[in-house]
Every structure is written in structure tokens, then in C-alpha cells.
Amino acid sequence: MQERAPFYSVWALRAWHWLDKRYALQRLFHALVDVPIPRTARTLYLGGITLFLFFVQAVTGILLTLYYRPTPEEAYDSILFIMNDVRFGWLIRSIHAWGANLMILFCILHMLRVFFQGAYKAPREMTWVVGMLLLIITLGFGFTGYLLPWDQRAFWATTVGTEIAGAIPVVGRFAMEFLRGGPEISALTLSRFFGTHVLALPVTLAALILVHLVMIHQQGLSDPTEPAWPASDPPKEVVTSDSQREDVGEH
């Protein structure tokens, strides 16, 4: 006797056909994943690994925010509570901490691979620029997240980091006070770093990732064996004299 499929799988299949008939989802998904990949391309999967680590960071970060309290009085105690009392909290926080380091590492390796293979050259200059912005934001994640445990190491590391920003000529003091929310590291600094870490940076990074993937989808992956585009297109012939116009007309 043939077994029947579970009712939920039948329901999901009918829902898929209903949506696909109206919005051509299958054709859309094929268009999204259809990216030309040259046989000679050697990506080493570094970009994909970095994207995977971003999703890991997003999931573990959301779970951590369920118990973390961004105040100087409760931040450190909430970390201890996550590590000691929350079921698998130690594992989630460890994955988040190590994932941050690995994401930065693989992002840098990905950029180095693109640089040494010349994949940043025309016509992919803007893809390279967006990738550099993604690297900067990834480093920003590491910097803002380091303060959140609110222990001695986090406090003094942030003090040093903001003082480095304060050493910038002309705008240094403004940059330091903007990062700290004042002249000193305080509760305002912690809340500012927390808001930047869980809201501003994720939204910006997700938007840039989408732009980056669209660029790659439209242009395909770079072929290291093919020469780059010339710096400028050759000038087109311009007909200026009447005699030349007549010659063109006769031909």
C-alpha cells in the first residue's frame, strides 16, 4: 500500500503552485541563481563563507539580545547569566565571538583574493568599492561589539580605540566625542555602541550585501585568464565636413 504524503507537504505544494502561477516565482528564482562562473575562476569560496558567517552572526546575535541588558549596571551580569544560566548560552555566545573573528578573517582573505586575481578591474570597479565598504562595516561590528560585555578589557580597549580616532588631524576630537557620546566612556557610549551594533550596522550591511550580490549577478564572476577592459573606450569616428557626409551617404 502506497503511503500518503503528509497533509502539510501537500498544503505547502499547493501554496507554492498557487503563488508560482501568479508571480512566476520559479522563473524568478532561476534568474536569481543563474550566475555565469568561468571554469578558470578560483574563488576559494571565501565570499560565500563570509556570507554564511554573517547569517550565523545574525542568528546568534538575535538570541543574545533576548537576555543582554545594555546598561553599565546590568551588562556584565547579563553576560554572566547568559554564560552560566541560559541553556546553551555559553555555546551561542562562543559561536558569536568566534564567528566575529572568522567573519573578519574571511572577509579580508576574500578581498586579498580579489586583489591578487585582478578581479577589481573594469568593469567591476564598483563591485570592489562596495566590497571595501562591506569590510569597513565588518570591522565596525567587531569594534562596537567589543565594548558590550562592559568588563575591564572591553572598557580600556574602547578607550584606546576612541583615542586613536581622536588623533586624527582637525576632526579628531569631534570623532572621539561622537564615538563616545561625550568626553569620556560612559553609559551613553555603551547604549550608542549597542544601538549601532544591533541596528545601524546590520541594516547597512544587509543593504550593501544585496547591492554586492546584484552586481555579481549582473556581471558574473571574473575570469583571471581574460584581459581587463581598457581604461576608456576608443573614440568613435565623427563626421565633420560636408564632403565626408557625402562619402558616407554614397556608401
- Walk me through the domains of the chain, giving residue ranges and CATH numbers: 42-222 (1.20.810.10)
Mean pLDDT of 210-231: 82
List all residues 6 or more positions away from 19 whose beta carbon is below 8 Å from its beta carbon.
25
CB-side neighbour CA atoms (13 Å) of 41: 14
pLDDT band at 235 (very low <50, low <70, confident <90, very high): very low
Whole-angstrom distance, CA of residue 28 vs CA of residue 50: 25
Question: What is the arithmetic mean of pLDDT over 98-120?
Answer: 96
pLDDT of residue 238: 42
* pLDDT value at residue 243: 47
Say which residue, 229 or 160, is predicted with more confidence.
Answer: 160
> How far apart, in whole angstroms, are the C-alpha atoms of residue 116 and residue 224?
10
Please give the pLDDT value at position 232.
52
Q: Is the pLDDT of residue 189 over 90?
A: yes
pLDDT at 4: 61
Provide the Cα torsion 76, 77, 83, 85; round to 10°.
Answer: -170
Q: Which residues of 91-113 are buried (b: 16+ CB within 10 A; e: fewer)?
A: ebbebbeebbebbbebbeebbee
As a whole-number percent, the residues of the chain with pLDDT over 70 amount to 87
- Who wins on pLDDT, 248 or 156? 156
Listed in sequence order, the residues at least 6 apart from 102 whose beta carbon sits closer than 8 Å to its beta carbon are 53
Q: What is the pLDDT of residue 240?
A: 45
pLDDT at 40: 81
Taking phi over 0 as left and psi of -120 to 50 as alpha, with beta for the rest, 181 belongs to left
How confident is residue 244, by pLDDT bands cut at 50, 70 and 90?
A: very low
Task: Supply the pLDDT for residue 237.
Answer: 47
With bands split at pLDDT 50, 70 and 90, how would you rate the model's confidence at 8?
low
Report the mean per-residue pLDDT for the chain. 88
Cα(222)–Cα(43) distance, rounded to whole angstroms?
A: 9
User: 39 or 167: whose pLDDT is higher?
Assistant: 167
**In the predicted model, what is the mean pLDDT of residues 93-115?**
97
CA 160, CA 26: separation in Å to the nearest integer? Answer: 52
Residues 148 and 48: their CA atoms lie apart, in Å, by 28
Confidence class of residue 248 from pLDDT cuts 50, 70 and 90? very low
User: pLDDT-derived band of residue 3, with 50, 70 and 90 as boundaries?
Assistant: low
- Among 18-32, 89-103, 126-140, 153-167, where is mean pLDDT lowest? 18-32
Of residues 133 and 118, more confidence is placed in: 133
> What is the per-residue pLDDT across 29-61, written as a single tens digit (0 to 9) for each?
888 777 777 888 888 899 999 999 999 999 999
The residue among 188 and 231 whose pLDDT is bigger is 188
